[in-house]
């Protein structure tokens, strides 16, 4: 009945992942650090999860650190690497279209004297690899970049960035692959980066579980202190069921990636064509180098939040692009960085397709969207230019 | 849904009646960006969380609507302006007329296809059909619970607004509402009443004047009944008519602020008896029915502040020498009323029905 087109925010837990997790929430309840049979059973599940995640991205199992999610993985990567490299430098490079986890982590570092360069992007949200190379100084220790943008789906020219950064010694590269994993091929055997963040619930795993790839030999300062878990890189009794679910979901997502992406792209194009009849609708982000299941648009003379609300009441779940819970009307920092003025950025909507999405849902969603936009524009006219308020009584 | 117990129960009652309800929390100003240690605030991020929680308990959709622009224009600016002009604002009246039953109602009807806006106000709407004309009339009535009646703040609503308004609590008393909240297990059942002005979290409006309007207090004379200067005031905007606290004068018999002249930067004091008034003028009159009961004048019970006693009176339209000048209504009350404050609402009732109201004009207007 209700149509869910917000898979970029989160996507349902896969049945296979749930099935694999359940024993670790029931009979295999042991603490993986305990030496007895119950502990060993849990430890075996956790070990296997490390191996599966590593195998799915071309890494070694000792290079995987499970965390409480993508945000923690990113924080561990940025703060852990920046502090560990402090003896050599204090300059961190990132881009203006990163997730808040990255931007707020580097701004936190800035308060401790780190120097931060936030690079601009083009109209599609892409950073210029040469400009990035030009920002490198002899104090630079870390470059952080999201492989795919969560709001507009643009995929960064990562290979070109890596190639340029590798001309320098002692600069670590962190890739935020939270939105990309499962949609974009990731092979850390070929991709020469040092740190890479993942979030399980974006690819059919459970919420509250993420992982950080830390290439062997990379020095990282732990940000959560306590026991020796995760090879001293993340203390605290492990979320075994979460790790197991994340591993199964990632293994399946990677195995099915080509087919899933092909299907998602086809549905996305169908949705885009369904909206093409509406005047004043623009697709944001790169036309080709983008996530297959993510359609980000700007509806002119419309308010994205109001459209999103109206569509929710109509039974269609979508997003304005950035999750906001306090109703602030700050325009998206991503669209602002891409050069969209505030009045255009207000009309942003993000529709994201997932494995369960059907052709019938896409057709119905296109109808609902067209109707909602037309209704919205008519209402805006009825309520007066931009005022959206009824007349006061005499 | 403010996140308080009243709007929570209002929503719950509508759900119980089978009405298709959408919960909305209005973001009205930047106080919404912060979480508060106080549970009293109705407009902080905590309040939005409470409203969301109740919507979740009721199983209804919930959204935050940004109405900052309408609130700034319709409530905040007039509020700041009133104090600076030596008057006492009525922000809740403005909020009802321009935000809740203005911008919110307009969006609800036209953007989201809703039939009406329902709130947790204690007031009632009665529908009657005029036998002579066949016209449907919406009448605004005081709540059944006189202790909680909020009809005073709603006098600015007209026919079109009332036709699309629901007050599910109008027949209930506050203890009954609390009881229902407990019975339904609503998260806000024990939440204390909010008292403060929602955009002044600390409770001192002078902070808002300084922060939001760049007010710099200009001290000036405090003048007693006999015209004698008896002290210094800390800027006229820091005083309201009827105020007794914080005057910094000791003159035997208690003194109150009787008159504020912002232009002359003067605050005039008076004894309690000096603030009794039998007559005052009202401007910006609004009538629920769209027109006064009679074009030249009518009798009504008059209320000059929330919860003040109703006093019988006669309201007459003043003959204007300049037809383009804003209309004034002269109010004469049978019993004296104490300290009618310019800028505050004077509301006209007839047998528990709100006929309309206006803003008290400064003496001499």
Read off the pLDDT of residues A316-359 as tens digits, 9 standing for 90 and up.
999 997 655 567 778 899 999 999 999 999 999 999 999 999 99
Q: Specify if B242 maps to a domain.
A: yes
Q: What is the CATH number of the domain that holds B123?
A: 3.40.50.620
- Do B89 and B229 lie in one domain? The reply is no
Question: Model's pTM, two decimal places?
Answer: 0.89
Chain B residue numbers with beta carbons less than 8 Å from the beta carbon of A328 are 27, 32-33, 66
Residues 6+ apart with CB under 8 A from A64: A50, A53, A54, A211, A212, A213, A214
**% residues pLDDT > 90 (chain B):** 80
Retrieve residue B217's tokens: 């207090």
Which is more confident, A289 or A330? A289
Q: What is the pLDDT of residues A75-92, one digit of tens each?
A: 999 999 999 999 999 999
Q: List residues of B whose CB lies inside 8 A of any A CB.
A: 22, 25, 27, 32-33, 45, 48, 61, 63-66, 68, 70, 97-98, 101-103, 105-107, 109-113, 156-161, 286-288, 290-291
Question: In the predicted model, what is the mean pLDDT of residues B205-211?
Answer: 89
Question: In the predicted model, what is the mean pLDDT of residues A357-364?
Answer: 98
- Do B22 and B63 lie in one domain? The reply is yes
Nearest residue of B to residue A325, measured between CA atoms? B64
State how far residue A377 is from chain B, nearest Cα, in angstroms: 9
Q: Specify if B157 maps to a domain.
A: yes
List B15, B42, B43, B198, catalytic entry: B198
- How confident is the model at residue A57, as a pLDDT? 98
Q: Specify if B153 maps to a domain.
A: yes
Split at pLDDT 50, 70, 90, the class of B42 is low
Tokens 């075994």 -> residue: A240
CA geometry: angle B311, B315, B319, nearest 5 deg? 155
C-beta atoms of B106 and A383 within 8 A: yes
- Do B116 and B231 lie in one domain? The reply is no
Residue A388 in this model has a pLDDT that exceeds 70: no
CA distance A204 to A355: 9
Q: Exposed e or buried b for every residue in A299-311, given b needs 16+ CB within 10 A?
A: bebbbbbbbbbbb
Q: Specify if B209 maps to a domain.
A: no
Among the partner-chain residues A309, A329, A388, the one whose CB lies closest to the CB of B106 is A388
Strand order in the sheet with A294-299: A281-283, A294-299, A348-352
Q: What is the CATH number of the domain that holds B354?
A: 2.40.30.10
Torsion of CA A161, A167, A173, A177, to 10 degrees: 30
Helix axes A15-25, A240-255, angle to 10 degrees: 160
Q: How far is CA A374 from CA B56, B221, B341, in A?
A: 30, 60, 48
Question: In the predicted model, what is the mean pLDDT of residues B105-133?
Answer: 95
Q: Specify if B287 maps to a domain.
A: yes
Q: What is the pLDDT of residues B46-57, one digit of tens each?
A: 889 999 999 999
> Which of B140, B165, B183 is where one domain is finished?
B183
Q: Do residues B209 and B218 touch, judged by C-beta distance below 8 A? A: no
- Do B82 and B12 lie in one domain? The reply is yes
DSSP state of B38: -
Question: In the predicted model, what is the mean pLDDT of residues A215-232?
Answer: 96
Distance of CA A6 to the CA centre of its chain: 13
- Do B245 and B283 lie in one domain? The reply is no
CA distance B65 to B107: 9
- Is B15 catalytic? The answer is no
Q: Specify if B191 maps to a domain.
A: no
Residue B195 in this model has a pLDDT that exceeds 80: no
C-beta atoms of B111 and A312 within 8 A: no
> Which of B270, B302, B335 is where one domain is finished?
B270
- How confident is the model at residue B319, as a pLDDT? 87
- How confident is the model at residue A393, as a pLDDT? 30
Asked whether the CA dihedral B241, B242, B244, B249 is positive or negative, the reply is positive
How many helices and strands, by DSSP H and E, does chain A display? 12, 12
State how far residue B112 is from chain A, nearest Cα, in angstroms: 6
Q: How far is CA B78 from CA A77, B1, B72, in A?
A: 50, 24, 9
Strand order in the sheet with A172-176: A64-67, A210-214, A195-199, A172-176, A140-146, A91-95, A115-119
Retrieve residue B324's tokens: 């383009």
Among the partner-chain residues A306, A375, A389, the one whose CB lies closest to the CB of B70 is A389
Retrieve residue B17's tokens: 């009646």
Helix axes B174-183, B5-16, angle to 10 degrees: 70
Split at pLDDT 50, 70, 90, the class of A390 is very low
Q: Specify if B111 maps to a domain.
A: yes
Interface check A389 vs B, CB under 8 A: yes
A113: left (phi over 0), alpha (psi -120 to 50) or beta: left
Q: How many domains does chain B have?
A: 3
Q: What is the pLDDT of residues B240-276, one digit of tens each?
A: 999 998 888 888 889 999 999 999 999 999 999 999 9
- Do B240 and B300 lie in one domain? The reply is no
Nearest residue of A to residue B95, measured between CA atoms? A392
Question: In the predicted model, what is the mean pLDDT of residues A162-182?
Answer: 97
Phi, psi of B135 (to 5 degrees): -80, 140
Residue A386 in this model has a pLDDT that exceeds 50: no
- Do B178 and B110 lie in one domain? The reply is yes
Tokens 């020469």 -> residue: A192
- Do B153 and B45 lie in one domain? The reply is yes
- Do B165 and B72 lie in one domain? The reply is yes
- Do B12 and B43 lie in one domain? The reply is yes
- How confident is the model at residue B123, as a pLDDT? 98
State how far residue B226 is from chain A, nearest Cα, in angstroms: 42
Split at pLDDT 50, 70, 90, the class of B106 is very high
- How confident is the model at residue B311, as a pLDDT? 97
List domains and CATH numbers for chain A: 3-9+258-382 (3.90.1150.10), 15-255 (3.40.640.10)
Domain that holds residue B241: 217-270
- Do B155 and B22 lie in one domain? The reply is yes
CA distance B1 to B33: 17
> Which of B183, B204, B227 is where one domain is finished?
B183
CA distance B77 to A61: 61
Q: Specify if B261 maps to a domain.
A: yes
Retrieve residue A23's tokens: 């024993």
List A324, A378, A379, A388, catalytic entry: A324
Split at pLDDT 50, 70, 90, the class of B325 is confident
Interface check A2 vs B, CB under 8 A: no
Nearest residue of A to residue B97, measured between CA atoms? A392
**Could you give the count of Cα atoms lying within 13 Å of A99 in the half-sphere of its Cβ?**
29
- Do B126 and B254 lie in one domain? The reply is no
Split at pLDDT 50, 70, 90, the class of B323 is confident
Q: Is B236 exposed, middle or buried (0-12, 13-18, 19+ CB in 10 A)?
A: buried
Split at pLDDT 50, 70, 90, the class of B29 is confident
């Amino acid at each position: 009945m209700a149509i869910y087109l917000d898979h970029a925010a989160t996507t349902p837990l896969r049945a296979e992942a749930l099935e694999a997790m359940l024993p670790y929430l029931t009979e295999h309840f042991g603490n993986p650090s305990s030496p007895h049979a119950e502990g060993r059973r849990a430890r075996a599940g956790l070990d296997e999860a490390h191996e599966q995640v590593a195998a799915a991205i071309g890494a070694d199992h000792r290079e995987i650190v499970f965390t409480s999610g993508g945000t923690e993985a990113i924080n561990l990567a940025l703060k852990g690497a920046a502090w560990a490299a402090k003896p050599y430098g204090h300059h961190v490079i990132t881009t203006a279209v990163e997730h808040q986890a990255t931007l707020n982590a580097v701004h936190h570092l800035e308060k401790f004297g780190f120097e931060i360069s936030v690079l601009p992007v083009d109209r599609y949200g892409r950073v210029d690899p040469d400009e990035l190379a030009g920002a490198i100084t002899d104090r630079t220790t870390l470059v952080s970049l999201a492989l795919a943008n969560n709001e507009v789906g643009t995929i960064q020219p990562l290979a070109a960035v890596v190639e340029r950064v590798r001309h320098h010694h002692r600069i670590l590269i962190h890739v935020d692959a939270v939105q990309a994993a499962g949609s974009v091929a990731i092979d850390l055997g070929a991709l020469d980066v040092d740190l890479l963040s993942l979030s399980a619930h974006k690819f059919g795993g459970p919420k509250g579980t993420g992982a950080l790839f830390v290439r062997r030999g990379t020095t990282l300062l732990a940000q959560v202190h306590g026991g020796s878990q995760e090879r001293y890189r993340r203390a605290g009794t492990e979320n075994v069921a979460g790790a197991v679910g994340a591993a199964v979901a990632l293994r399946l997502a990677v195995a099915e990636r080509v087919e899933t992406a092909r299907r998602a792209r086809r549905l996305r194009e169908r949705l885009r064509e369904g909206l093409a009849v509406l005047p004043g609708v623009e697709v944001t982000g790169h036309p080709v180098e983008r996530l297959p299941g993510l359609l980000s648009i700007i509806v002119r003379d419309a308010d994205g939040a109001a459209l999103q609300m109206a569509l929710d009441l109509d039974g269609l779940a979508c997003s304005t692009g950035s999750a906001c819970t306090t109703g602030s009307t700050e325009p998206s920092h991503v669209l602002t960085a891409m050069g969209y003025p505030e009045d255009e950025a207000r009309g942003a909507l993000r529709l994201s397709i997932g494995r369960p999405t059907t052709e019938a849902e896409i057709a119905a969603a296109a109808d609902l969207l067209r109707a909602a936009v037309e209704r919205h524009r008519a209402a805006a006219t009825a309520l007066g230019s931009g005022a959206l308020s009824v007349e006061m009584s005499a | 849904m403010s996140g308080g117990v009243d709007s929570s129960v209002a929503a719950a009652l509508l759900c119980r009646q089978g009405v298709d309800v959408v919960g909305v929390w209005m973001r009205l100003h930047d106080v919404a960006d912060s979480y508060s240690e106080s549970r009293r605030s109705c407009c902080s991020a905590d309040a939005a969380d409470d409203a969301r929680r109740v919507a979740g308990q009721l199983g209804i959709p919930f959204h935050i609507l940004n109405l900052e622009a309408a609130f700034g224009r319709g409530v905040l600016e007039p509020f700041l302006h009133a104090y600076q002009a030596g008057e006492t604002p009525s922000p809740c009246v403005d909020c009802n007329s321009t935000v809740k039953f203005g911008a919110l109602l307009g969006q609800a009807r036209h953007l989201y296809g809703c039939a009406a806006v329902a709130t947790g106000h204690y007031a009632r709407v009665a529908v009657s059909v005029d036998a002579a004309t066949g016209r449907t009339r919406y009448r605004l009535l005081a709540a059944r619970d006189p202790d909680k009646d909020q009809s005073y703040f709603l006098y600015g609503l007209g026919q079109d607004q009332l036709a699309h308004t629901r007050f599910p609590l109008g027949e209930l008393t506050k203890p009954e509402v609390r009881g229902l909240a407990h019975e339904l297990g609503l998260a806000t059942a024990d939440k204390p009443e909010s008292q403060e002005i929602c955009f002044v979290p600390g409770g001192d409006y002078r902070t808002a004047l300084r922060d939001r309007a760049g007010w710099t207090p200009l001290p000036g004379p405090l003048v007693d009944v006999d015209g004698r200067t008896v002290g210094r005031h800390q800027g006229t905007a820091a005083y309201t008519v009827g105020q007794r606290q914080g005057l910094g004068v000791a003159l035997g018999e208690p003194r109150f602020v009787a008159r504020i002249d912002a232009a002359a930067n003067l605050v005039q004091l008076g004894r309690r008896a000096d603030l009794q008034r039998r007559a005052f003028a009202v401007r910006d009159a609004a009538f629920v029915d769209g027109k006064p009961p009679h074009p030249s004048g009518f009798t009504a019970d008059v209320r000059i502040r929330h919860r003040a006693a109703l006093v019988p009176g006669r309201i007459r339209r003043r003959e204007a020498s300049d037809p383009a000048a804003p209309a004034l209504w002269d109010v004469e009350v049978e019993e004296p009323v104490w300290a009618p404050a310019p800028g505050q609402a004077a509301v006209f009732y007839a047998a528990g029905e709100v006929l309309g109201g206006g803003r008290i004009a400064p003496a001499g207007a």
